[in-house]
Chains A and B, each alone.
Chain A
Amino acid sequence: MILSIASGKGGTGKTTVAVNLAISLEDVQLLDCDVEEPNANIFVKADLKRIETIYREVPDFDLEKCNLCGACADFCAYNAIAVTSKKLIFFPELCHSCGGCGLVCRENAIRWRRKEIGEIYRGCKDGIEIYQGKLKVGESIPIPVIRRMKELIDRSKNVIIDSPPGAGCPFIESVKGSDFCLLVTEPTPFGLYDLKIAVEVVRKLKVPFGVVVNKDGGGYKEVDLFCRSEGIPILLRIPHSEEIARLYSLGVPFSSQKRRWKEEFERLFESIEDLR
């Protein structure tokens, strides 16, 4: 089964849920697709080795052939090219590798070169095979890295995907094709707001889903009411607890310390299997 763990915004405890699930199950592949800030391995502590470098193609301008006509700059929807009367300036960090400039150049002045955009690491620890995607600093397009990560999925295993926060393209790229999605939220007005957006996106992706309420117990009931009225199952509640927060800050997944929580996560997994 492929299970993605997601949330409408960062810092809700998405990685906590992903890692605790991973250590509570057997034969797990954990994919950290939060490639701008991968931190699942802080808790898994596997010895990571780089297994792949991810590239994308960006234009390479042959300044001998270029006559500064400006057609490429006019075409580029991302404004990655500027042409002045004296020179052409290319801003690789704005380029989305769409290939269009190469099609409109009549002087055959555009060739392509590979630009490194990220890396994939792999490690194993206590029955968990962890993959970590890492976007290079300054790169803003994580999709190719996430896509490649997902090609590494071994369907015979229990696959857990720690998705990027937010409800944009990176979120969609990592959640689509999952058998189930767990949306992690906090019982606050902000948590609810982001949850609603995430719910809409997951519904469009036609991925079955349920909710985990993290830091539960503050008396804010609206998340519960929303889930009830929408028919969304709340599959786990993690209380707001100092003990859990302390273990978190030490980089220790709390279910590795507490038998009861390991069982809770096993049960969570079973209830997901029942729901599919």
Chain B
Amino acid sequence: MKVAISATGNDLNAFVDPRFGRCPFFILIDPENMEYEVIRNEASQSMGGAGIKAAQTVIKSGAGAVITGNMGPNAFAVLKAEGVKIYAGVSGKIKDVIQQFKEGKLKESESASVERHFGMRK
């Protein structure tokens, strides 16, 4: 199963971006062999509904799980409908976070971590 991580940069030394919808990149990684690809998050530029669009991007990538900082209810609903596992509230260097994931130390989220419109600049 591949995992999509909201990332501040485009390699494994980047950090988990706290914003799911508006992160610049997703790192799509296979934890088994640590092979990864970088996906640009087009939603980071959208006017509204960034979380929804980012969720669609993740679904299209074929990821079975998402690791991120904060996720709003809309994105959460979309990912859940696809059956994608969500690990929100995570921070740190992506390398280390993947390690924690492999060791089963991350906890699956049962609901969205933030209200609507979090991360939107007013």
Decide if B27 is an interface residue (CB 8 Å cutoff): no
In the assembly, what is the distance between CA of A196 and CA of B59, in Å? Answer: 45
Q: Which of A70, A77, A82, A83 contacts B47 (CB 8 A)?
A: A77
What residue in chain A is nearest B79 (Cβ atoms)?
A84
Contact across chains for B81 and A89 when beta carbons are under 8 A apart: yes
Contact across chains for A80 and B49 when beta carbons are under 8 A apart: yes
Q: Which of B47, B74, B82 contacts A85 (CB 8 A)?
A: B82
Interface of B is mostly: helix
Interface string of A79-102 (1 = CB under 8 A from B): 110111111010100100000000
Contacts of B78 in A (CB 8 A): 82, 84, 89
Decide if A128 is an interface residue (CB 8 Å cutoff): no
In the assembly, what is the distance between CA of A73 and CA of B54, in Å? Answer: 12
Contacts of A89 in B (CB 8 A): 77-78, 81
12 contacts between A and B (CB under 8 A): A78-B47, A78-B48, A79-B43, A79-B48, A79-B52, A82-B81, A83-B56, A84-B81, A84-B82, A85-B59, A91-B49, A91-B74
Decide if B46 is an interface residue (CB 8 Å cutoff): yes
In the assembly, what is the distance between CA of A79 and CA of B50, in Å? Answer: 7
Contact across chains for A79 and B59 when beta carbons are under 8 A apart: no
Question: Which of A70, A78, A82 neighbours the largest number of chain B CB atoms within 10 Å of its CB?
Answer: A82
User: Which residues, 49 to 70 on B, are CB-close (under 8 Å) to A?
Assistant: 49-50, 52-53, 55-56, 59
What residue in chain A is nearest B60 (Cβ atoms)?
A70
Contact across chains for B49 and A94 when beta carbons are under 8 A apart: yes
What residue in chain B is nearest A74 (Cβ atoms)?
B56
Given A73-B56, A79-B43, A82-B55, answer yes or no on A87-B49 (Cβ-Cβ < 8 Å): no
Contacts of A78 in B (CB 8 A): 47-49
What is the CB-to-nearest-CB distance from B51 to chain A, in angstroms, rounded to a whole number?
Answer: 8
Number of interface residues of A (CB under 8 A): 15
Give the interface size class of chain B.
10 to 19
Beyond A73-B56, A85-B82: 8 further Cβ-contacts under 8 Å?
Answer: A82-B52, A82-B55, A82-B56, A85-B59, A86-B81, A86-B83, A94-B48, A94-B52
What is the CB-to-nearest-CB distance from B55 to chain A, in angstroms, rounded to a whole number?
Answer: 6
Contacts of B81 in A (CB 8 A): 82, 84, 86-87, 89
What is the CB-to-nearest-CB distance from B73 to chain A, in angstroms, rounded to a whole number?
Answer: 10
Contacts of B55 in A (CB 8 A): 82
What residue in chain B is nearest A82 (Cβ atoms)?
B78
What is the CB-to-nearest-CB distance from B54 to chain A, in angstroms, rounded to a whole number?
Answer: 9
Question: Which of B48, B50, B77 neighbours the largest number of chain A CB atoms within 10 Å of its CB?
Answer: B48
Contact across chains for A79 and B49 when beta carbons are under 8 A apart: yes
Per CB-CB distance, the 4 closest pairs between chain A and chain B, nearest first, are A79-B49, A84-B82, A82-B78, A79-B53
What is the CB-to-nearest-CB distance from B1 to chain A, in angstroms, rounded to a whole number?
Answer: 16
What is the CB-to-nearest-CB distance from B81 to chain A, in angstroms, rounded to a whole number?
Answer: 5
What residue in chain A is nearest B80 (Cβ atoms)?
A84
In the assembly, what is the distance between CA of A78 and CA of B48, in Å? Answer: 6
Contacts of B83 in A (CB 8 A): 86
Contacts of A70 in B (CB 8 A): 56
What residue in chain B is nearest A73 (Cβ atoms)?
B56
